[in-house]
Amino acid sequence: MAVMAEPRKSPLPAGAPSGAPTGAVQPLVGDNDIGLPYSGEIGTQLREFVVLSRAFERQVGQALAVNPTDLSAMEHLITAGSLTPSELSRRLDISTAATTLVVDRLVALGHARREAHTSDRRKVVVLPAAKSVEKAVGALMPVIGGVATVTRDLPAEEREVIAAFLSRVLDVYRGALAGGADGDGDTAPRS
């Protein structure tokens, strides 16, 4: 059973938008008083989802004996089927030199192979190895299958509400990313 932190008064100034009534007793993120807006149980669960997703990615990476960048490259290769090193570089947002090192590691581990491009023999494509795809999918199936089951078991009306909510949350993330590190992106949820 999880132990909940004692609720505390928000350190936000009076009148600051917090998602909860001003001055209301509300739990804060973790054990700190940094003035984050209150988002209740949903916000807590979203944060836990992010933490668990990262832990699960680390677990899959460990199962495949790859680092996070190599795992990301494998995800792109598995979903695309094959990519040129330049395409992979763009998707990973790393230099072509760094991508060469990633591909070299994946090839050395047997997770990928290089082949000549089908229409342009001057180019090379990187393809995921079938055994590695099978191993990655096997590692992912408990979550993919579990989420599919939970989703399938929901009534259609609940699925629509959840899908609309998640779409709005994704818009917040996209807006924050579009704004860059200074946070000038439009993070206001749609109405």
C-beta of residue 71 within 8 angstroms of C-beta of residue 59: no
Whether residue 21 is predicted with pLDDT greater than 50 in this model: the reply is: no
- pLDDT for 119 equals 87
Top-ranked range on mean pLDDT: pick from 4-13, 75-84, 173-182: 75-84
Q: What is the mean pLDDT of the segment spanning 120-124?
A: 87
- Please state the domain extents for the chain: 38-142
pTM of the full predicted structure? 0.68
Cβ burial of 29 (10 Å; 0-12, 13-18, 19+) is middle
Residue 113 has φ and ψ, to the nearest 5°, of: -145, 155
34-43, 115-124, 133-142: range with lowest mean pLDDT: 34-43
Determine the CATH number of domain 38-142. 1.10.10.10
Q: Which of 91, 92, 78 is nearest to 137 (CA)?
A: 78
Q: What is the pLDDT of residue 126?
A: 96
How many other C-beta atoms are found inside a 10 Å radius of the C-beta of residue 174? 13
The larger pLDDT score, comparing residue 21 to residue 174, is at: 174
pLDDT at residue 36, as a whole number: 75
pLDDT digits (tens, 9 = 90+) for 38-69: 788 998 899 999 999 999 999 999 999 999 99
